[in-house]
Amino acid sequence: MTLKQKSMVLIQNLHFSYPKKPTLFKGLTMNLEKGKVIGLLGKNGAGKSTLMRLMAGLLKPNAGTVVFEGKHSFDRDPDFLDQMIFVSEQISVPEFLKVKDYVGVYRDFYSRFDDVRLENLLAEFQISTEEKISNMSYGQQKKLQLAISLSVGAKLILLDEPTNGLDIPSKSSFKKVVSASLEEDQILVISTHQVQDIEHLIDQVIILDEGKIKLHADLEVLEEEFVFSQSGEMPANAIYGESHVLGARFIAKSMIGISGGSTDLELLFHAVIADKLNGNYLSHPKPQMS
């Protein structure tokens, strides 16, 4: 399959700023492939939610393009809207409705709505369709929104801070249902500060900083290229490391005979923000980055 066939979201030379605010994105370029779960990381105010809103077509680029399967997001074409769902961090669920009535709104809107999947997800999250939304806690409402987002049959699923407000068992359920629900022709983008909530779940990581994509990488490639490990003291060849009472956590360039664990997302994030490890570590060539 060629890169173009695999790509679903193409962002090219994207410029964006809010009115009377400094420029947020100055020429962002990237593409997202189907079948991937992508973690979007960045400090507060880095622009994660804004990038998601641009992908959802809720904001208009000042220049450049955001295209989903050949359609400009901001055109909000009916086909595009049928294939995309964006769940923002602040949920606004109409409290006067019962779960089943609220779900009905989505069932009417999305042509590929999957009732069986929804039923299974609501069971996993222990939500009854007869429940009145006003009687549900914030976390329960959040889980309802998540269950819906994974059931509408969207090819592009954008989740902004989906695990905020979820208790520990629900976070485990979140990982379980996401891994089990994602199909080959879907992309799931998860923006979060809770890196442990997406560890062992994401295929790719994107780190946004100062209006740029500092890193866009397949975790598989990162794990081939680098060693993420711990030792009694900081090794001399560490690219980046953090000392703690028992020694150090570090990232080093991979060498024959030395293998490291799975990607330590927190350490990776700090290394990227400190400009110790930037770039493109994808399993095939990509368009030039900003």
Ligand X SMILES: Nc1ncnc2c1ncn2[C@@H]1O[C@H](COP(=O)(O)OP(=O)(O)OP(=O)(O)O)[C@@H](O)[C@H]1O
Chain positions contacting ligand X, by CB under 6 A: 18, 21, 24, 42, 44-50
Crossing angle between the packed helical segments 115-124 and 168-181, to the nearest 10 degrees: 160
Question: Taking the alpha carbons of 177, 124, 86, 80 in that order, is the dihedral positive or negative?
Answer: positive
Taking the complex as a whole, the smallest distance from the CB of residue 156 to ligand X amounts, in Å, to 18
Taking the complex as a whole, the smallest distance from the CB of residue 140 to ligand X amounts, in Å, to 22
- Cα separation, 109 vs 105, in Å, equals 6
Instruction: Locate all alpha helices (DSSP H) within the chain, ordered by sequence.
Output: 3-6, 48-55, 78-83, 99-109, 115-124, 138-149, 168-181, 195-198, 219-225, 265-273
Q: Which is nearer to ligand X, 115 or 210 (CB)?
A: 210
Read off the amino acid at residue 247. Answer: G
Taking the complex as a whole, the smallest distance from the CB of residue 232 to ligand X amounts, in Å, to 35
Taking the complex as a whole, the smallest distance from the CB of residue 19 to ligand X amounts, in Å, to 7
Q: Which is nearer to ligand X, 20 or 244 (CB)?
A: 20
Beta bridge partners of 156: 84, 187
Determine the length of the chain: 290
Taking the complex as a whole, the smallest distance from the CB of residue 16 to ligand X amounts, in Å, to 9
Q: Which is nearer to ligand X, 5 or 44 (CB)?
A: 44
Taking the complex as a whole, the smallest distance from the CB of residue 227 to ligand X amounts, in Å, to 29
- Cα separation, 1 vs 278, in Å, equals 27
For residues 238 and 247, is the Cβ–Cβ distance under 8 A?
no
Q: Which residues, at least 6 apart from 288, have a Cβ–Cβ distance to it below 8 Å?
A: 29
Taking the complex as a whole, the smallest distance from the CB of residue 25 to ligand X amounts, in Å, to 10
Read off the amino acid at residue 134. Answer: S
Q: Which is nearer to ligand X, 4 or 21 (CB)?
A: 21
- Cα separation, 264 vs 251, in Å, equals 9
Q: Quote the tokens at residue 255.
A: 């060498």
- Give residue for tokens 């090219």: 12
Taking the complex as a whole, the smallest distance from the CB of residue 90 to ligand X amounts, in Å, to 10
Alpha carbon separation from 66 to 54, 154, 217 (Å, rounded):
7, 17, 20
